[in-house]
A = this chain, B = another copy of it.
Amino acid sequence: MNDDQLLLLVIKNLKEIKKDGLRHIIEELQPYDIAQLYLDLPEKHRHKFLLSLNSRDIAMLLQELESDVQLDILHKLGVEKSSQVMDIMQTDDLADLLGELSVEKIEGFLAMMKKEESQTVQDFMRYAPDTAGGIMTNRYVWIRLYYTVAQAIEKLKSFANMAETIYYLYVLDEGGKLVGVVSYRDLLLANHQDKVSEIMFNRVISVQVDMDQEEVARLIQRYDFIAIPVVNEENNLVGIVTVDDVIDVVMEEANEDIEKFSASGHSIDFQTSAFTASFRRLPWLILLLFIGLISGSIISGFEDTLAQVVSLAFFMPMIAGMTGNTGTQSLAVVIRGLVVNDIDRKTTFKLVLRELGVGCIIGVVCGALISIIAYLWQGDPVLGLVVGSSLFLTLIIGTLAGTIIPLILYRFNVDPAVASGPLITTLNDVFSLTVYFTLATIFITRLM
């Protein structure tokens, strides 16, 4: 059955008020599918569809939707039913959702929720969204050090419906401190009368609640975990981050890197309006416009040279462009490298040296090539020499600029992707034109 057939079947069941038929369909669907179904439903059927779902289904549905649709659903449900749904939602998703509402609305919902859930979500709303605390959930299973395997399995059973993952059980001591972890696999292979303390893994890898989400993602990736425990400064367990949230983080961060890399401004997607998109892109463009004028003023400083040999202008776009391009290439290598490598003085030194080598090699190749082309085109060997040696020098400068600028930003704890491709390109315009016209001015008598 494809999506359209499914949609028609659901509408048919809604029209005929066949609750059982509908339940049967929904039970076989994944949360993502239910969300797609809801979005595909005509507006007039949506309310009836929501009524046919139980609170648990609605909680799952909400977690798959964008915030504007979420808010619309809460509105349709009313405060009382919404609060019931919120009691069931994952705390991290709920905290995000509430973050979209006005203070009065938040208070309205919190007042209707169960007291403990309401308290937890308020705690969660205090964590920065891009930290471990911001993406963690509190739906984990914890056990005591003195439990037997049989007791642990009992606890697991009673929490199985609620917990986000039941793959790991976290072992806490009397003070709530995290002292061990037991996987479901360990439980399965142990004897029922074994003590948890005997079969648990003592060297628990955990993260601090304020750790950057990218760091958390790297740890989960490194260790192939399904979830990682989050602790506070006293090593008390406060939540877990699960692998599905980490995939979202990785995708998000990759997008942000391309966003910054292209200086395309914060979060423009296919739905953003032309006005919003323009005003997000303009700050960068205006900055780059002024840097572009610096290039212009450099050329104006060499006005006499240019007036005497106008053909110098023919090679300007090529030289400036090539310097920008090699800078962008180096920038990409550095930014990608910083994601996976730890950078120390030695690595930095080696990398800069390598890129110097790269600059020299491509400088020699491209410089020689353009010398010959310029000579053949304009019939002037000195012009060929000036253009070629300029390109040689600017390719070295451009390559190093694309390497060193992001490294310096990184050292000063600025995100190196701020040194976007356009910025490097525009800066390299300035460098390359200076070199080109300086060389041309030196050889001006030979060029005329």
Contact = CB atoms under 8 A, between A and B. Distances in A.
Interface in A281-313: 281-282, 284-286, 288-289, 292-293, 295-297, 299-300, 303, 306-307, 310-311, 313
Contacts of A329: 262-265, 281, 284-285, 422
Contacts of A370: 289
Number of copies: 2
Contacts of A336: 255, 258-259, 269
Interface residues of A, number: 120
Nearest to A30: B223
A221 B205 contact: no
A325 B246 contact: no
Contacts of A331: 262
Contacts of A246: 247
A160 interface: yes
A92 interface: no
A415 to B, nearest CB: 14
Interface in A312-365: 313-322, 324-326, 328-333, 335-337, 339-341, 347, 350-351, 354-358, 361-362, 365
Contacts of A263: 325, 328-329
Contacts of A32: 222-223
Contacts of A109: none
A223 to B, nearest CB: 5
12 contacts: A250-B254, A258-B335, A262-B331, A264-B332, A270-B337, A270-B350, A278-B357, A289-B318, A303-B310, A307-B307, A321-B426, A325-B426
